[in-house]
Amino acid sequence: MSPTRIPEATVARLPVYLRALNSLLEREIRTCSSEELASAAGVNSAKLRKDLSHLGSYGTRGVGYDVEYLRYQIAREIGLTQDWPVVIVGIGNLGHALANYSGFSSRGFRTVALLDADAARQGELVAGLKIRPFTELSAIVREHGVAIGVIATPAAAAQSVCDHMVDAGIRSVLNFAPTVLTVPPEVDVRMVDLSSELQILAYHEQRKSAPASPDPTLDPEVVA
């Protein structure tokens, strides 16, 4: 773990670099230049070198980066060399998909419990775990030292689930429900909006299908 906090934008790119390094390793590539790694990660190489310098990782002149070692450095920086017990609340289709998502377990995230408020679902086996009542949340957090709570409930239930998570001692929440959550300052929430990426694609698609032209309705107004 590096001595100082690294910039938030760099933190957000570390998982991308890790994925790129994993795919290089799958192709049995042991060393790579910053250009190769940048291309695999889809960023420019100057930005990549800057980002990695925050980790104290500079590669070796004429050789480049040792893929395996850099992967270890990034995994350690993110904290993936630790064990992260995770609880998933809301076992509908999305909760099912998350419970079965191989990308979680392969990155150090261990799902220790699946919780659902619906009594009819309880005892059902999903990804090797029995669905348990939501009322057991606090006991499960204590027992397993759960650090991260994943919310996959409908939007209407998400804030209440989040409040219970915070009361139970969870300080990091990953929210898949399409609603903004309010939490105390010591709690981190990240929201995955499944439609954001579709919107970004639509922006580009629109520009492919219609060449850009000035829009007379967009008159600059006075600054607020």
Report the residue from 21, 40, 89, 113 that binds a copy of itself according to the rule CB under 8 A.
40
Q: From residue 224, how far is each of 215, 220, 221 by CA, in Å? A: 22, 12, 9
Distance CA(150)–CA(179), nearest Å, equals 14
**Is residue 1 near a copy of itself by the rule CB under 8 A?**
yes
**Three-state DSSP class for residue 133:** strand
Q: Which stretch binds a copy of itself (CB under 8 A): 19-27, 115-123, 132-140, 159-167?
A: 19-27
Among residue numbers 161 through 220, which ones bind a copy of itself (CB under 8 A)?
171-174, 178-180, 186, 188, 190, 192-210, 212-215, 218-220
* Segment contacting a copy of itself by CB under 8 A, of 100-108, 114-122, 133-141, 156-164: 100-108
Sheet holding 188-191, edge to edge: 125-126, 129-133, 109-116, 84-89, 148-151, 172-175, 188-191
Sign of dihedral through CA atoms 203, 209, 215, 217? Answer: negative
* 47-86 residues near a copy of itself, rule: CB under 8 A: 49, 53, 55-65, 73, 77-80, 82, 84, 86
Q: How far is the CB of 172 from a copy of itself (least distance, A)?
A: 4
# of chain residues touching a copy of itself (CB under 8 A): 96
Which residues are paired to 131 by β-bridges? 114
